[in-house]
């Protein structure tokens, strides 16, 4: 690749970002690409509509669930050092770990925490604790508040709870708080020089805030919540970084665990283990899971990825080992995920020449819908599925356990506790697409919009999977 080719990449990022932000009420966006030794970062718009501060190439932002790959890396570092065993029960290191189903926690292994196969039903559990004992308080609360969705290793469900328990496990075996460990063992060695772990640190430098579209005007309004509670740190509640920092982390995984500065951060074996398939549900809407990384197939090329929602913002980190490429981006409204997807697909198709086959080629009219109708539940979430006019109609409602949970969730979601009814049309038995979307919408990252149903018993599905998360029929 020559300099002209890379200047074309930089220009495309800049032009496409500016056009999308202007057309879709996104105040600000920042993105970067590393490819074959060259790196570029571009920024557009406003980081905060209240202050008018510009989005700059070095503006910080909440990285959200991208943190899960960092947490997994920290766990594998302790495996490298002989401190942790992936096949040991979590309770052998963390005896206070329990769920409200007797004996359920005893079956969960360390590897289940970071491969999203643990079955902990705590996806929307938001205890509001601060400071050094926040993760300890989270784990203590699980015993009374949260149960299980499935037996460990039986299914795959995106797990905030698993990552938070992993963060507490790290604190116990290292003697450091999760923020201290993140700073010492990742930010420093990787060279993430502008990253931080709290709002108090972030305020000392330029940091973006999130925004939500006004329901009437669609204009962006600022979030009323900057970060989630400290209890959610290891799952993505509090870490803050820049695009350059995320590119450095991605490059470390490209280079077999060696950071851009030459520091050995993780063994090559552990880097490879994170990239291997840990569980595959064999459905297009749930890509195979590694450890930390989600393995998105784009034709014959695998993109290791993780996106990160924060209150009113969304980030994305992608690593493409076969092409020596890292892509990172952040937009300060939730709808910016559409731009992330467009840029990623442009990089694959136009820059790398990767053919991306159509994931969904047709809809079906002859699918029996009766196995899927019913009510599905997970922690504080209810999804009612009915048959209406030959389609599935879903009504999703958040049912908070208490006032604190409601306050945190509604602020995180921009004020809503329920979603408008959504119709779904069948692609094939057990797989559905939201009505009204063009088929090509699902070729890329937004395949997560598809919904699947699993484990049909006596003519009824036991599980629904949307966005990688399971709910269980009740």
Would you write out the chain's pLDDT as a tens digit for each of its 474 residues?
A: 677 788 999 999 999 999 999 999 999 999 999 999 999 999 999 999 999 999 999 999 999 999 999 999 999 999 999 999 999 999 999 999 999 999 999 999 999 999 999 999 999 999 999 999 999 999 999 999 999 999 999 999 999 999 999 999 999 999 999 999 999 999 999 999 999 999 999 999 999 999 999 988 889 999 999 999 999 999 999 999 999 999 999 999 999 999 999 999 999 999 999 999 999 999 999 999 999 999 999 999 999 999 999 999 999 999 999 999 999 999 999 999 999 999 999 999 999 999 999 999 999 989 999 999 999 999 999 999 999 999 999 999 999 999 999 999 999 999 877 789 999 999 999 999 999 999 999 999 999 999 999 999 999 999 999 999 999 999
Q: Please tell me whether residues 325 and 396 are part of one structural domain.
A: no
Q: Please tell me whether residues 218 and 344 are part of one structural domain.
A: yes
The dihedral through the CA atoms of 124, 27, 249, 226 has a sign that is negative
Q: Please tell me whether residues 305 and 398 are part of one structural domain.
A: no
Residue 75's closest CA among 273, 262, 209? 273
Q: Please tell me whether residues 297 and 429 are part of one structural domain.
A: no
Q: Does residue 418 sit within a domain?
A: yes
Q: Please tell me whether residues 177 and 96 are part of one structural domain.
A: yes
Q: Return d(Cα 57, Cα 461) in angstroms, integer.
A: 47
Q: Does residue 186 sit within a domain?
A: yes
CATH number at residue 221: 3.40.710.10
Q: Return d(Cα 101, Cα 107) in angstroms, integer.
A: 11
Q: Return d(Cα 248, Cα 328) in angstroms, integer.
A: 10
Q: Does residue 107 sit within a domain?
A: yes
Decide if 453 contacts 472 (C-beta within 8 A).
no
Q: Please tell me whether residues 65 and 152 are part of one structural domain.
A: yes
Q: CB atoms < 10 A from the CB of 88, how many?
A: 12
Q: Does residue 363 sit within a domain?
A: no
Q: Does residue 365 sit within a domain?
A: no
Decide if 326 contacts 247 (C-beta within 8 A).
yes
Q: Please tell me whether residues 242 and 290 are part of one structural domain.
A: yes
**Residue 381 in 3-state DSSP?**
strand
Among the candidates 357, 391, 424, a domain finishes at 357
Q: Please tell me whether residues 28 and 124 are part of one structural domain.
A: yes
Q: Does residue 213 sit within a domain?
A: yes
Q: Return d(Cα 183, Cα 377) in angstroms, integer.
A: 37
The dihedral through the CA atoms of 116, 122, 127, 133 has a sign that is negative
**Residue 24 in 3-state DSSP?**
helix
Decide if 10 contacts 39 (C-beta within 8 A).
no
Q: Please tell me whether residues 205 and 88 are part of one structural domain.
A: yes
Active site residues: 65
Query: pTM score, two decimals?
Result: 0.97
Instruction: Please enumerate in sequence order all residues whose Cβ is within 8 A of that of 228, keeping only pairs 6 or more positions apart, or say none.
Output: 126, 236, 237, 238, 310, 311, 408, 412
Q: Return d(Cα 243, Cα 236) in angstroms, integer.
A: 16
Q: Please tell me whether residues 353 and 415 are part of one structural domain.
A: no
pLDDT score at 1: 63
pLDDT score at 417: 72
Q: Does residue 258 sit within a domain?
A: yes
pLDDT score at 112: 98
Among the candidates 324, 357, 390, a domain finishes at 357
Q: Please tell me whether residues 306 and 445 are part of one structural domain.
A: no
Q: Return d(Cα 207, Cα 203) in angstroms, integer.
A: 7
Q: Return d(Cα 297, Cα 177) in angstroms, integer.
A: 36
State phi, psi for 457 to the nearest 5 degrees: -135, 130
- When divided into structural domains, the chain yields a total of 2
Q: Does residue 162 sit within a domain?
A: yes
CA 388 to chain centre: 32
pLDDT score at 297: 96
Residue 287's closest CA among 47, 44, 450? 450
pLDDT score at 419: 82
Whole-angstrom CA distances from 10 to 16, 33, 41, 343, 351 are 10, 8, 8, 11, 11
Among the candidates 357, 392, 426, a domain finishes at 357
DSSP per-residue letters across 120-154? EE-TT------STTHHHHHHHHHHHH-EESS-TTT
Q: Please tell me whether residues 438 and 309 are part of one structural domain.
A: no
Kindly tell me the burial class for residue 256, based on how many C-beta atoms sit within 10 Å of its own C-beta (0-12, 13-18, 19 or more). middle
State phi, psi for 393 to the nearest 5 degrees: -120, 130
Question: Which domain range does residue 464 map to?
Answer: 374-473
Whole-angstrom CA distances from 438 to 57, 295, 365, 392, 428 are 34, 24, 17, 18, 16
């Amino acid at each position: 690749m020559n300099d002209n080719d890379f200047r074309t990449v930089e220009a495309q990022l800049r032009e496409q970002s500016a056009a999308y932000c202007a057309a879709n009420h996104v105040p600000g966006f920042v993105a970067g690409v590393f490819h074959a030794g060259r790196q570029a970062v571009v920024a557009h718009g406003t980081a905060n509509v209240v202050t008018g501060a510009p989005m700059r190439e070095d503006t910080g932002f909440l990285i959200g669930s991208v943190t899960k790959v960092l947490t997994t890396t920290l766990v594998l570092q302790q495996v490298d050092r002989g401190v942790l065993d992936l096949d040991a029960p979590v309770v052998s290191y963390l005896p206070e770990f329990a769920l409200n189903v007797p004996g359920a926690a005893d079956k969960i292994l360390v590897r289940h925490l970071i491969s999203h196969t643990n079955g902990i039903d705590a996806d929307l559990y938001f205890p509001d604790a601060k400071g050094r004992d926040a993760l300890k308080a989270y784990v203590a609360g699980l015993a009374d508040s949260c149960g299980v969705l499935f037996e460990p290793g039986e299914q795959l469900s995106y797990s905030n709870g698993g990552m938070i328990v992993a963060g507490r496990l790290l604190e116990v075996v290292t003697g450091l708080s999760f923020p201290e460990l993140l700073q010492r063992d990742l930010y420093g060695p990787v060279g993430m020089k502008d990253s931080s772990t709290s709002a108090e640190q972030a305020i000392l430098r330029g940091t973006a805030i999130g925004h939500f579209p006004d329901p009437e005007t669609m204009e962006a309004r600022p979030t009323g919540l900057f970060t989630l509670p400290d209890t959610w740190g290891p799952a993505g509640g509090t870490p803050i970084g820049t695009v350059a920092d995320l590119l450095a982390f991605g490059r470390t995984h490209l280079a077999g665990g060696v950071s851009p500065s030459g520091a050995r951060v993780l063994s090559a074996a552990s880097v490879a283990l994170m990239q291997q398939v840990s569980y595959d549900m064999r459905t297009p809407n749930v890509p195979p899971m590694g450890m930390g990384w989600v393995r998105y197939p784009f034709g014959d090329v695998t993109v290791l990825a993780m996106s990160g929602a924060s209150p009113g913002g969304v980030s994305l980190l992608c690593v493409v080992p076969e092409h020596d490429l890292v892509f990172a981006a952040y937009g300060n409204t939730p709808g910016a995920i559409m731009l992330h997807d467009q840029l990623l697909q442009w990089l694959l198709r136009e820059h790398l020449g990767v053919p991306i086959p159509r994931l969904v080629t047709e809809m079906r009219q002859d699918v029996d819908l009766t196995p899927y109708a019913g009510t599905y539940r997970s922690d504080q979430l209810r999804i009612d599925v009915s048959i209406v006019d030959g389609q599935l109609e879903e009504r999703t409602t958040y049912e908070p356990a208490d006032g604190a949970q409601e306050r945190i969730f509604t602020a995180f979601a921009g004020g809503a506790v329920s979603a408008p009814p959504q119709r779904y049309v069948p692609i094939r038995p057990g797989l559905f697409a939201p009505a009204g979307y063009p088929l090509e919408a699902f070729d890329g990252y937004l395949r997560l919009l598809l919904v699947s149903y699993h484990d049909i018993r006596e003519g009824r599905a036991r599980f629904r999977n949307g966005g990688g998360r399971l709910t269980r029929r009740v």
